[in-house]
Amino acid sequence: MNRYAELTGRILMSLIFISAGANKIVGYAGTQGYMDSMGVPGILLPLVIALELAGGVAMIVGYRTRLFALLLAGFCILSGALFHNDFANQVDMIMFMKNLAMAGGFLVLFANGPGELSLERKLGKG
C-alpha cells in the first residue's frame, strides 16, 4: 500500500509543475514580462520552464528523484520569496506557505528517495 501512496504523492506534487511549465510556454511573453517586473531577469524563463517540465516528469516516473527533489525544493522556496512576499496580502501569504509546504514534501523525497514504484528502483539505482 505504501508504494502506491509514494507514487500518488509524486504524481500529485508534480502536476503543478508540469501545468505551470506548459502555461509558461503558452504565455511566454507575459510570463517573461511579469518576471522582469518583479526584478527577476526574464532571460531565466527557459531554465524555469525546463526545471518545471523535466522535474515534474522525473518526479512522476521516479528518475533522479533526489536531485530533482532538491532542485524543486529550492525553486519553491526561492520563487515563494521572490513572487509571494507581500505578507499583508492574504493570497500572497497562502501562496508563500503553499510553496514552503511543497518544499517540505520535496525534502522528504530527497531524504527517502522515490520508493518502490519508480524508474530508479526498476533500474536498480533507488
pLDDT tops 90 at residue 28: yes
C-alpha cell at 100: 514552503
Nearest to 10 by CA among 51, 56, 54: 56
User: What is the mean pLDDT of the segment spanning 89-100?
Assistant: 97
- What lies within 8 Å, CB to CB, of 64 at 6+ separation is 58, 120
Q: What average pLDDT does the segment 74-99 reach? A: 97
- Report whether pLDDT(23) > 70: yes
